[in-house]
Amino acid sequence: MDEFELIRRYFAPLSGAHEDVVLGIGDDCALLAPPAGHELAVTSDTLIAGRHFPEESLPFDIGWKSLAVNLSDLAAMGARARWFTLALALPEADERWLAGFADGLKALADEAEVSLVGGDTTRGPLTITITALGVVPAGCALRRSGARVGDRVCVSGTLGDAALALERWRAGDRDRSDDALDLRARLDRPTPRLALGEALRGLAHAAIDLSDGLAADLSHLLRASGVGAHIYGARLPSSAAFDRLAPAAERTRLQLAGGDDYELCLCIPAARLSEVRRLAQQIGVALTDIGEIQAGSGLSVLGAQCEPLAFTELGYRHFQ
């Protein structure tokens, strides 16, 4: 099977049939029609087997996750996801693998209504680079840099599920209980919060998506905004599966320093919080108020008695 056949069979069905794709796969470039008065949001992420997902992950899940992590970046800008390109390096053209991978990619592409518009396939160690493109009305994107003193710090969904799943899997745990599978699904098939990001344009002051863990990612946002924040460890939202399976001593570390949540962290002016809650409810995404933006710099995590928790005890490393 040569490259052209491979593209025709597995990837052409992903090109969708959206009006804003003027010319899809098959020429030197794709031609796209961004709507008037909009800016383009662009992001690229690479996933490498054994580094960004377990080697034995299902091809479906690898396809899903490769696109999800990119769409999550678009969600964090409040952009509407529209198109993506795929650069795929494969050790060999394994048809079963390709079919599963393309299915996973397609499942999320259909759900998010995005079109595959180009790319490249080469032989090499399994590496997936996706560049995702979205559109956002000019001047309306959510940025990391807009947080203001007094804003509420909110997060979507639940935190720590993917990190717990990864640690259990790395420790050799192959538990197939419903709880374990729920956690694993959060690691393998994260849900980019696109509808929430779009709905909060003009409402949230700042946003970032959670890929490296809440503490690291919120710290990026605080630096970009020139502010500090305190959050309450006990308020961090957790799933029922996490509550049952996470060792008590590890909870806060997993929720703060674990990665792969792909939830949004949002800074919301206090006066708009109830409006934002209503919107999130309509969309069907949980939104939890976990703390407040304050003057100064840095992130404080407060314990049950509002005592600051020492970062060094929480397993932080890569964001200090």
Distance CA 237, CA 246 (A): 13
- Let me know: does 84 contact 11? Beta carbons within 8 Å: no
Q: Looking at this protein, which amino acid is placed at residue 246? A: A
Which residues does 206 contact at the CB level (< 8 Å), separation at least 6?
142, 143, 144, 145, 146, 147, 151, 221, 224, 225, 266, 267
Reduce the DSSP state of residue 128 to 3 states and report it.
strand
Question: Of 54-62, 114-122, 151-159, 242-250, which part binds a second copy (CB under 8 A)?
Answer: 114-122
Cα torsion through 41, 84, 155, 286, rounded to 10: 130
* Nearer to a second copy (CB atom), residue 242 or residue 311: 311
- For residue 113, which phi and psi values (nearest 5 degrees)? 55, 50
Distance CA 205, CA 269 (A): 7
* Nearer to a second copy (CB atom), residue 24 or residue 233: 24
* Nearer to a second copy (CB atom), residue 89 or residue 309: 89
Total residues contacting a second copy (rule CB under 8 A)? 57
* Nearer to a second copy (CB atom), residue 207 or residue 256: 207
* Nearer to a second copy (CB atom), residue 126 or residue 229: 126
> Smallest Cα–Cα separation from 64: which of 241, 184, 233, 235?
184
Note whether 114 binds a second copy by CB under 8 A: no
Question: Of 102-110, 113-121, 161-169, 276-284, which part binds a second copy (CB under 8 A)?
Answer: 113-121
* Residues in 26-65 that interact with a second copy by CB under 8 A: 26-34, 36, 39-46, 48, 51
Note whether 76 binds a second copy by CB under 8 A: yes
CA distances 251 to 170, 178, 242, 275, 288, Å, are 17, 19, 8, 30, 17
* Residues in 153-212 that interact with a second copy by CB under 8 A: 207-209
Among 56, 313, 318, 320, binds a second copy (CB under 8 A): 318
State the residue for tokens 């998506």.
Answer: 209
State the residue for tokens 């008065």.
Answer: 37
Note whether 235 binds a second copy by CB under 8 A: no
Least Å from the CB of residue 231 to a second copy: 20
Least Å from the CB of residue 61 to a second copy: 19
Distance CA 101, CA 11 (A): 10
Least Å from the CB of residue 287 to a second copy: 18
Distance CA 197, CA 78 (A): 4
Note whether 133 binds a second copy by CB under 8 A: yes
Note whether 1 binds a second copy by CB under 8 A: no
Note whether 74 binds a second copy by CB under 8 A: yes
Interface ranges with a second copy (CB under 8 A): 2, 22-23, 26-34, 36, 39-46, 48, 51, 73-74, 76-77, 79, 83, 85-87, 89, 117-120, 122-125, 127, 129, 131, 133-134, 136, 138, 141, 143-145, 207-209, 224, 318
